[in-house]
Amino acid sequence: MFTIGDFARHGRVSIRMLRHYDTMGLLRPARVDRSSGYRFYEAAQLSRLNRVVVLKDLGFTLQQVRTILDEDVSTEELRGMLRLRRAELETALADAASGLVQVEARLRSIENEGRMPQEDVVVRRLPAVRLARLSGTAASFGPDDTGPLTGRLFDELCRRLDSAGITPTGPRTVCFETAAESGYGIVVHVGLPVPPEAVGGTDFQVVPLPPVERAATIVHRGMTHGFLSTSQLLVRWVDAHDYRFDGHAREVTLGSPENPDECVAELQAPVVAA
């Protein structure tokens, strides 16, 4: 038999880890001296220890390892667990690769401009949202055209929701798209998140916005100036980071419209790798 120190050395694990495996019932000593409490292991137990180490290195939790070793997991079940673990690792690699691209781009920005960029662009997932919505058409993307229309649409939407007894559950959302039929003008959709039980009527729609797996987002503070510059910064960032736009951008605003200088808007642009 081996002492716990010798067994740890042969198995290339720590004594502390062997004690932890014992506590979990994952690898019990072959014998424990009653008077001293010393643990002793047999050479045959190295095989189980090796399996524990291999499964742990694959990313399984110790509870999963014990299940695999002690509950006679079938080959098909183990194959399924390994496939799930592979998917988790692939996701982690994709996230790490995306992070690396952002770090490299930030380095290029600092090298080109000699300073840290003032605005941060974050790539993230957008959750699904259910909106009560009204739409209108503006002559152009210019703030002189879209701003007044957006304000009127939100005022009217709030009035209609109040009449319907529906209380919004989230911030104001605006989506823009080119008018489909004539190709002239910009369709402005304004929306407010509503509860799942809310239904549309004859004077407003309730529509689901699906989740977006990857969106480039940037925050703009204050609504009275500089908004166009922020949106252009987002466009340049997307181009510089080897993405392309993939769908209609959203604008989500926090704060009271009565105090535009205190509002915070997040521009959200769905993107895919170019």
For 164-212, write each residue's pLDDT tens digit. Answer: 888 998 889 998 887 655 456 788 899 999 988 888 777 888 999 889 9
Domain ranges for the chain: 2-73, 76-117, 124-273
d(Cα 26, Cα 100) in Å, to the nearest integer?
38
Q: The tokens of 114 are what?
A: 């000699």
pLDDT at 110: 59
Lay out the sheet containing 39-41: strands in order across: 2-3, 39-41, 31-32
pLDDT at 114: 56
pLDDT at 3: 93
Helix boundaries (H) for the chain = 4-11, 15-24, 45-57, 62-70, 75-113, 143-163, 227-240
3-class secondary structure per residue, 19-32: HHHHHHCCCCCCEE
For the domain 2-73, what is the CATH code? 1.10.1660.10
- As to burial, measured by CB atoms within 10 angstroms (0-12 exposed, 13-18 middle, 19+ buried), residue 256 is exposed
End-to-end CA distance of the chain: 62
The third-level CATH classification (topology) of the domain covering 124-273 is: Multidrug-efflux Transporter 1 Regulator Bmrr; Chain A (3.20.80)
Nearest C-alpha neighbor of 172 from the set 161, 164, 163, 180: 161
pLDDT at 192: 93
Q: Where do we find the tokens 């259910």?
A: 130
- As to burial, measured by CB atoms within 10 angstroms (0-12 exposed, 13-18 middle, 19+ buried), residue 136 is middle
Residues in the chain predicted with pLDDT less than 70, given as ranges, are: 98-99, 101-119, 179-184, 222-227, 255-262
Q: The tokens of 103 are what?
A: 């770090």
d(Cα 204, Cα 194) in Å, to the nearest integer?
12
The 8-class DSSP code of residue 210 comes to P
pLDDT at 59: 85
pLDDT at 116: 47
d(Cα 128, Cα 211) in Å, to the nearest integer?
4
pLDDT at 45: 92
- As to burial, measured by CB atoms within 10 angstroms (0-12 exposed, 13-18 middle, 19+ buried), residue 3 is middle
